[in-house]
Amino acid sequence: MAVARILFTLPLPEPFDYSVPEGMTLAPGAYVAAPVGPYDRLGMVVDVLGDEVATGRKLKAVTAVYDVPPMGAPMREFLAWVARYTVTHPGQVLSMALRARDGLLPSPVEVRYRLTGKLPERMTPARQKVLDAFRSDPKCPKVSLNDLLLSASDIALAAEVSSGVVRGMAEAGALEPVEIEIDLPFPIPDPDLPGATLTAEQAEAADELRASIQQGGYAAFLLDGVTGSGKTEVYFEAIAEMLRSDPAAQVLVLLPEIALTQAILARFEARFGAPPAPWHSGMSPKDRRRTWREVVHGRARIVIGARSALFLPYRKLRLLIVDEEHDTSFKQEDGVTYHARDLAVMRSKLEGGQVILASATPALETTVNAELGRYTRLRLAARPGASRLPDVELVDLKKAPPEKGKWLSPVLERALIETLANGEQSLLFLNRRGYAPLVICKACGERLKTPGTENWLTEHRYTGRLVCHVTGYSIPKPTHCPSCGAADSLMGVGPGVERVAEEARVLLPNARIEIFSSDTAQGGEETRGLVDRMATGEIDVLIGTQIVAKGHNFPNLTLVGVVDADSGLKGGDLRAGERTYQLLSQVAGRAGRAERPGRALVQTYAPDNPAMEALAANDRDGFLQIERDVRSELILPPFGRLAAMILSAPSAELVDKTALEIAAAAPNGEGVEIYGPAPAPITVLRGRHRRRFLVKSPRTVDLSAYMTAWTARLKLPSQVRISVDIDPYSFL
């Protein structure tokens, strides 16, 4: 009796042994169902052992095995590595790879019908309508029936009869029922379709990528190109070469935003004659099921998606591209905490494939890896054609402040008026959703917060609601202060994109103004519609959050105005300056992407900040040198390592008591420094009090192993929760 060692999609620390029934063949990586308690659970076979393992043990038997290709050894090794690195139970990581479990089953089928040429023995007027609908255009041609396989409901709609008439004709032999799969395979991409005409600089980079793909094996590249330099066209050539060189190879392109996923699909289809398989949280369960099944069978040759697409069980992943690799959206903060860029490099290494990290503003970690020779840097220093990088001007708000009650300086107001008069488009950037980020009572000074949380409520004037952007809590805006009862005393403080839009409409009464944020573009269709309207010139002024900074190409956009450039510099985040520079550089890069020159006006109270000075001087490398020197001196990433431990409990007393016990249990480690426990900046969240530890170590220390050893010593009260974040990006 063979024994299967099975890892389940549950927060369990190790796999369990099960007997393999006679006649069932299992291999490592097979997907199975087996009993855990009273229920069958989904799991994956980690190993198959001999019958000697079962001696003297009463083992439960595997219930079923799914008829899909088993997970490959590189993917299994990757999942095990992620669990160790992130200090997470391996079953939780496996669960991320099996998010569309219906894909383990064959595609559902649907019955459709076609004519057989045989007439029913009993002809009725209704049956004649069905035949007429097939033979000629119906009166209401919502669908075409000529020689097609169609459902009973579609035929009934076109013939204006009931579905029962259609089924009756099938029973009479006049129509033939045919079962077809609902989840159709994705069209096969054609790598030999002509691509864009490349500049000499682009062609040189593409040639180096092609040569590396032809050589085979693991290789990592940094595609370092200014905004609008054609990085996408270059990695398209790498994709084409990979598809040509290996008929079974699969390609994954990671993007930081769903909005980008939607916008770039058309570019892929134009280049390869077929859209890629998408994967992101905005898809329906049916579409996710289809993509997962096609990936696991190796039929989805190109996949494009958000960070979770990294965990799909590809048959043969040979090329992985991380577009906008610097973007903080690649950091997963909930559940299993990870950075998709770092995991992409490891996955490519384990798969023996190639990885391309593309960005106009690479992360300092990526830049240092390129300088150390771990990545090959490919530079694109210029935009193709007549377009050039926009001129960036800092608007010192101490010298040119907005009028009282306004947020746009006179300098930016004049630029908006001139741009509209010239028939060109403007973009105003403010990374705050809603109308006002704080609501305060004028009578008593009360600041409205989320119940059980220290988060301020944001006013959304268009919907008349107050919203917490951390927890999702939402209420209609009260007419009276909840604290003192004063009527009509609540006012919004500070600007959000809605307030800036209100100000812009007063300044430009005849302009077509729209807001682009996750509130106004909540789905793929809405996002595509708004981006298309901007691209075709139907919008004069677009006001948006960081969603506008990523990958969009608006040919007539010549002015970018940054309303509050300083907001990202606040707080104790070690990457605050780097993030601010990256975001503002990407936003400014939206301007002047065609023949018309562009400019960016950046409103700031800190024009002497290194990030602002580098932005105005277009001196990215100089700014990175300053960041490098500071972090090297303080032994911070990428020159040292950080980990965070966050604990929460229903009361401050319990969380403080537990935090002291956790601190006392910390192992000794050479060079390891522990800071805390300290209250988290968001001290109370969803009714739970939060404390944080920050752990710093040299790069020579295996910080994941240290955190694993620390957490293994802990015996926490049931009401206390703990999470570990290796290389944290959020310090809230």
In this structure, are residues 229 and 381 in contact, taking their beta carbons and an 8 Å threshold? yes
Residues 399, 523: one domain? yes
pLDDT at 138: 44
With residues binned 3-state (H G I as helix, E B as strand, rest as coil), the percentages for the chain, rounded to 5, are 35, 25, 40
* Residue 210 maps to a domain: yes
In terms of residue numbers, what domain contains 358? Answer: 200-380
Domain boundary among 380, 400, 420: 380
- Checking if the pLDDT of 119 tops 60, the result is yes
Residues 374, 404: one domain? no
Taking CA atoms, 443 is separated from 437, 458, 460, 480, 485, in Å, by 19, 19, 21, 11, 9
* Residue 475 maps to a domain: no
Q: pTM of the prediction?
A: 0.86
pLDDT band at residue 369, thresholds of 50, 70 and 90? very high
Residues 158, 255: one domain? no
Residues 361, 255: one domain? yes
Domain boundary among 43, 75, 97: 97
Residues 370, 404: one domain? no
Q: What is the CATH number of the domain that holds 371?
A: 3.40.50.300
Separation of alpha carbons 99 and 376, rounded Å: 34
Residues 228, 376: one domain? yes
The residue written with tokens 């959000």 in the block is 496
Average pLDDT, the chain: 89
What's CA 550's distance to the chain center, in Å? 12
Q: Work out how many domains the chain is built from and give that number.
A: 5
Write the burial class of residue 674 (CB in 10 Å: 0-12 exposed, 13-18 middle, 19+ buried): middle
pLDDT band at residue 335, thresholds of 50, 70 and 90? confident
Q: What is the pLDDT of residues 203-241, one digit of tens each?
A: 999 999 999 999 999 999 999 998 888 899 999 999 999
* Residue 611 maps to a domain: yes
Q: What is the CATH number of the domain that holds 93?
A: 3.40.1440.60
Residues 6+ apart with CB under 8 A from 271: 193, 195, 196, 236, 240
Residue type, 11: P
pLDDT at 163: 84
Residues 404, 292: one domain? no
* Residue 634 maps to a domain: no
* Residue 508 maps to a domain: yes
pLDDT at 652: 93
Q: What is the pLDDT of residues 627-675, one digit of tens each?
A: 999 999 999 999 999 999 999 999 999 999 999 999 999 999 889 999 9
Q: What is the pLDDT of residues 158-170, one digit of tens each?
A: 888 888 888 888 8
* Residue 103 maps to a domain: no
Q: Which two tokens stand for residue 291?
A: 């993509």
pLDDT at 120: 84
Question: What is residue 549's DSSP assignment?
Answer: G
- Checking if the pLDDT of 136 tops 60, the result is no
Q: What percent of the chain has pLDDT over 90?
A: 58
Q: Which two tokens stand for residue 9?
A: 């999609």
